[in-house]
Amino acid sequence: MRARLNLDPSQVRRARDLAARAGQPIVEIARTHTTVSVERAVLRLAGLRGADANGMPWVNHVVDAVRAAVGLEHGVALPAWHALVTQGHESLAALAAAAAHGTVAFRLPVGEDAAAARSAASAALVGGIARIDANRVRRDRLIAETADPPTPWIYLIVATGDIYEDIPQAQAAAREGADVIAVIRSTGQSLLDYVPEGATREGFAGTYATQENFALMRAALDKTSRELGRYVRLTNYASGLCMPEIAALAGLERLDMMLNDCMYGIIFRDINPRRTFIDQRFSRQVHARAGIIINTGEDNYLTTADAIDAAHTVVVSQLLNEYFGKEAGLTDGQLGLGHAFEINPAVPDSFLYELAHAQLVRELFPDAPLKYMPPTKHMTGNVFAGYLLDAFFNLCGVMTDQSILLIGMMTEGIHTPFLSDRDLALENVRYVRDAAGRLGESFVPAPGGFIERRAGQVLEESLALLRRICDDGLLNAIADGTFGITRRPADGGRGLDGVIMRADDYFNPASDILERRERAGSADPASRPASPVGADR
């Protein structure tokens, strides 16, 4: 990647230093607290799945029963495995069924009983994380057996609500050129404090994220990958009140990407900030282990705030996402930082602004698989103008070496796109990529010209905002409406009642394993990204 903007390296280093300073207090909160979803994720990684006759997952029953009996300050593992070892239950599922009926006496073990429970829990989690490790190896093998498509990867959404309708649509999209299939979630799932069970057929503007749905789509895309001779990636959403659990399920079923942003759920779903940041750290540790690329959600800020005035908030959020991601063990090749083509097309020089912003992000994060989002805010229903605007987005993406292009739909904002709309969108991006894919080689902004000056201005504004956040605190900045102009106080929002301060002897066998991998760093082969996106640039 050629540097084209003459950025001041000292400013770039300063920006990262400030992002780390702003993020450190948040990491400390995550290290000293747990949540009900983190504890449920531990049980899922140990192999507990299924639900009662009303659809409430067994993991919820166990965590709720343990919390009612002894609290969660010490974690769910010790009381759960103590009961499993000492009370004659055949399996975690049998324990969960008994807990749902109120017939388990959960206690916090001590001494030899605690040691036995620790040993049993740790063994169960070793097995679950071994499955994630095996999936990572399997992904690498399938990529080697087929082929890794060159960047930019073409990212397309399916969203019928019915997993059995999503599958043929996803396979058809892959045959027409899509490299990444995103199964968008049912409306409102992020606000559910449980993960639905089984294959689902009645989602609302999307399909429920469940373990069975993950497995069905993964198997279908593996079949299509072999048919096409190129690996087709699968993504879903690790966000909302069940973020850690969905991350665990993604690792267990070999998804390749997950939407996982540090502030999206806070700002756009009114989920408590503390709950979100605690859940986020655990989920990203799982993603790091699984070789999953995260996609962050900075593009959403520009749907509520002005894309020129708020450009620096996108950069600041990206720097924070990078810091939080790397602290949790993610590599550069797993940081699919987001941004968007959302400047009002009526603004003079709007395309030059878009080029400046996109090139700035590319140079700030040269090794990240950047995810570039198409225009939505200023799509008016004029499908001809929309199709042209999407072409300009595709052109900006290839000129500035973006890694993942979510293709735009000319019917954006009118209806859920038809298959024909998706086919035209794929035709648009194929044409631009084939006709102008090498244009970036010759794209050199004039020294001191508009694009270079604009990029420098956004970087300076980012530094000023980071300094303010360091002084005031990130939680206060979120409460003040700094990102996406929406105010979210630290003690408000959904899910705060699910946050628990850890006791000194808190035990989480999953975190123990994941933290050891994090500390091992780059010397550990499994800490490398599954497929270095930058290799094709």
pLDDT in tens, 148-188: 999 999 999 998 999 999 999 999 999 999 999 999 999 99
What's residue 536's pLDDT?
29
In terms of Cα–Cα distance, which of 271, 226, 219 is closest to 237?
271
Question: HSE (CB half, 13 Å, CA atoms) of 352?
Answer: 12
**What is the chain's length?**
537
Residue-wise pLDDT for 42-59, tens only, equals 999 999 999 999 999 999
DSSP helix, strand, coil percent of the chain (3-state; round to 5)? 55, 10, 35
If residue 433 lies in a helix (H) or strand (E), which one and from where to where? helix 419-436
Secondary structure (3-state) at 55: coil
Distance from C-alpha of 32 to C-alpha of 491, rounded to nearest angstrom: 17
Joined tokens for residue 380: 């008016």
Distance from C-alpha of 48 to C-alpha of 387, rounded to nearest angstrom: 47
Are 494 and 393 in contact by the 8 Å Cβ rule? The answer is no
Residue-wise pLDDT for 406-458, tens only, equals 999 999 878 878 888 989 999 999 999 999 999 998 999 999 999 999 999 99
Q: Judging by beta carbons within 10 Å of its beta carbon (0-12, 13-18, 19+), is residue 512 exposed, middle or buried?
A: middle
Torsion angle (degrees, nearest 10) of CA 474, 464, 349, 405: -40
Q: Judging by beta carbons within 10 Å of its beta carbon (0-12, 13-18, 19+), is residue 417 exposed, middle or buried?
A: buried
Residue-wise pLDDT for 374-408, tens only, equals 999 999 999 999 999 999 999 999 999 999 999 99
Q: Does position 250 have pLDDT exceeding 80, yes or no? A: yes
Torsion angle (degrees, nearest 10) of CA 466, 467, 473, 477: -50
Are 491 and 500 in contact by the 8 Å Cβ rule? The answer is no
As a whole number of Å, the end-to-end CA separation of the chain is: 7
Are 287 and 238 in contact by the 8 Å Cβ rule? The answer is yes
Residue-wise pLDDT for 9-41, tens only, equals 999 999 999 999 999 999 999 999 999 999 999
Domains of the chain: 33-126 (no CATH), 246-453 (3.20.20.440)
Are 89 and 101 in contact by the 8 Å Cβ rule? The answer is no
What's residue 526's pLDDT?
37
Q: 516 Cβ partners below 8 Å, 6+ apart?
A: none
Distance from C-alpha of 324 to C-alpha of 164, rounded to nearest angstrom: 36
Q: Note the Cα 199 to chain centre separation in Å.
A: 22
Joined tokens for residue 9: 């390296």
Residues 159, 162, 165, 166, CA torsion sign: positive
Banded pLDDT at 97 (limits 50, 70, 90): very high
Distance from C-alpha of 321 to C-alpha of 317, rounded to nearest angstrom: 6
Are 186 and 206 in contact by the 8 Å Cβ rule? The answer is yes
If residue 93 lies in a helix (H) or strand (E), which one and from where to where? helix 92-100
Which CB contacts under 8 angstroms, 24+ apart, belong to 391-396?
Answer: 391/428, 391/431, 391/432, 392/341, 392/351, 392/354, 393/341, 393/354, 394/428, 394/429, 394/432, 394/433, 395/432, 395/436, 395/439, 396/341, 396/351, 396/354, 396/355, 396/358, 396/372
Are 227 and 174 in contact by the 8 Å Cβ rule? The answer is no
In terms of Cα–Cα distance, which of 451, 486, 458, 481 is closest to 308?
458
What's residue 28's pLDDT?
98
Banded pLDDT at 222 (limits 50, 70, 90): very high
Question: HSE (CB half, 13 Å, CA atoms) of 453?
Answer: 5
Q: What is the mean pLDDT of residues 482-492?
A: 90
Of all residues in the chain, the percent with pLDDT exceeding 90 is 89
Joined tokens for residue 314: 């996108």
What's residue 2's pLDDT?
72
Banded pLDDT at 530 (limits 50, 70, 90): very low
Residue-wise pLDDT for 264-274, tens only, equals 999 999 999 99
The CB density around residue 438, as the number of other CB atoms within 10 Å, is: 10
Q: What is the 3-state secondary structure (H, E, C) of 364-425?
A: HCCCCCCEEECCCCCCCCCHHHHHHHHHHHHHHHHHCCCCEEECCCCCCCCCCCCHHHHHHH
pTM recorded for the entire structure: 0.93
Q: Judging by beta carbons within 10 Å of its beta carbon (0-12, 13-18, 19+), is residue 84 exposed, middle or buried?
A: buried
What's residue 537's pLDDT?
26
Distance from C-alpha of 57 to C-alpha of 49, rounded to nearest angstrom: 7
Q: Report CA-CA distances (Å) from 68 to 50, 94, 325.
A: 21, 19, 33
Q: What is the mean pLDDT of residues 467-474?
A: 97
Q: Judging by beta carbons within 10 Å of its beta carbon (0-12, 13-18, 19+), is residue 126 exposed, middle or buried?
A: middle
In terms of Cα–Cα distance, which of 456, 481, 447 is closest to 315?
456
Distance from C-alpha of 153 to C-alpha of 500, rounded to nearest angstrom: 40
- Catalytically active residues are 264, 299, 371
What's residue 418's pLDDT?
83
Rounded to 5 degrees, what angle do the CA atoms 351, 440, 154 make? 80
